[in-house]
């Protein structure tokens, strides 16, 4: 990482949290069906409250714990005075590929799908393997894009049937500015994912920023593919809600993080406004990193020549991995996903 990227990430967060109030979400989402993962607490919960207030016809709360999800559902219904039928709680464990595939199969039977707000994520303190990768990478990156790929056909079907432009929103972080590129070198033996799974070479303190950098690469790559596809456009973007009070760091014992949260963090409700803005953003937001409800330049790590090469290599590996997890998700549905032959021939 460069000192300039680090300074930009830190300064933008401090400035945003002290001086900028995000606009209160306004608009009309009547008739829409929206999925929000990780919606029983934190940013996902507050974003869900806004979405219901704006008239979403059906909110699917995708949660790991159904009991906690149902409690959150009741609180949302009470605070928004919406009817019982407007909110459903479905099980989704981003630690499990089987769970992700089962959830997507159920979602495919929905009458329509307008929005996927893929909010679920974690910061892990220790190196543990989930499925075939380090857990942060599995949850924040692989399972997230697996869910995206599995739901794209439904989103595009809805686009054609209801004349809409569906959205996929994956929250990001200014911490991507400080991510190390050491394990992302395409020349590393075995490739990027194998390098990320090298426990001895992994600094877990930097793993969450790295996962958000990979999300940026993935969003930009998917956006390129969607734009090239002949299928109806699906907008995919990645907003930064900035440093917020939430349950994201529930698994870490980082004292500095907890102190910083008390002193500097935005309220969860304030941060959720950035997610709702992204969900409602126009085509200009496709493939973009958003900060303070505006398109913002990501780290130069993302946009420079080296970043372009890393993105290409990462996306090729990701497509291969997704095809292995769910055979046919990319090759058989390539016309829907818009995946180019270059990205399939890996």
What distance lies between CA 199 and its chain's CA centroid?
25
Residue 208 appears among annotated catalytic residues: yes
Q: With CA atoms as reference, report the closest residue to 207 among 239, 184, 241.
A: 184
Q: Which two tokens stand for residue 219?
A: 């969003």
Distance CA 167, CA 81 (A): 26
User: By the 8 A CB rule, do 330 and 337 touch?
Assistant: yes
Quick one: how far is CA 273 from the chain centroid? 15
Q: Which of 58, 154, 177, 212 is catalytic?
A: 212
| Main-chain dihedrals φ then ψ at residue 114, nearest 5 degrees | -100, -35
- Is there a contact between 115 and 166 (Cβ–Cβ < 8 Å)? yes
Choose the catalytic residue: 97, 177, 208, 289: 208
The Cα–Cα gap between 224 and 212 comes to 18
Cite the active site residues: 208, 212
């Amino acid at each position: 990482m460069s000192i300039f990227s680090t300074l930009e990430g830190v300064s933008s967060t401090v400035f945003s949290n002290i001086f900028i109030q995000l606009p209160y979400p306004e608009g009309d989402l009547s008739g829409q069906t929206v999925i929000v993962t990780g919606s029983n607490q934190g940013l996902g919960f507050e974003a869900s409250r806004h979405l219901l207030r704006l008239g979403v016809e059906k909110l699917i709360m995708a949660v790991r714990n159904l009991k906690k999800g149902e409690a959150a559902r009741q609180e949302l219904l009470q605070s928004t005075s919406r009817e019982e039928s407007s909110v459903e709680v479905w099980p989704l464990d981003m630690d499990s590929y089987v769970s992700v595939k089962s959830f997507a199969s159920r979602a495919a039977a929905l009458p329509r799908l307008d929005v996927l707000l893929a909010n679920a994520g974690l910061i892990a303190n220790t190196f543990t393997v989930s499925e075939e990768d380090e857990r942060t990478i599995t949850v924040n990156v692989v399972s997230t894009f697996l869910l995206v790929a599995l739901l794209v056909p439904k989103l595009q079907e809805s686009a054609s049937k209801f004349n809409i432009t569906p959205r996929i929103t994956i929250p990001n972080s200014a911490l991507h500015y400080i991510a190390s590129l050491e394990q992302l070198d395409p020349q590393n033996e075995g490739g990027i994912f194998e390098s990320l799974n090298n426990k001895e070479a992994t600094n877990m303190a930097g793993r969450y920023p790295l996962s958000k950098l990979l999300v940026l690469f993935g969003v930009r790559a998917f956006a390129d593919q969607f734009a090239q596809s002949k299928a109806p456009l699906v907008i995919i973007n990645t907003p930064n809600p900035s440093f917020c009070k939430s349950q994201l760091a529930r698994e870490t014992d980082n004292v500095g993080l907890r102190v910083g949260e008390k002193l500097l963090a935005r309220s969860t409700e304030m941060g959720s406004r950035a997610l709702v803005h992204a969900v409602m953003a126009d085509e200009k937001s496709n493939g973009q990193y958003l900060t303070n409800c505006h398109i913002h330049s990501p780290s130069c790590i993302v946009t420079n020549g080296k970043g372009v090469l890393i993105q290409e290599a990462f996306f090729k590996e990701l497509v291969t991995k997704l095809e292995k997890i769910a055979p046919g998700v990319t090759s058989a549905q390539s016309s829907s996903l818009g995946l180019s032959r270059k990205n399939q021939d890996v």
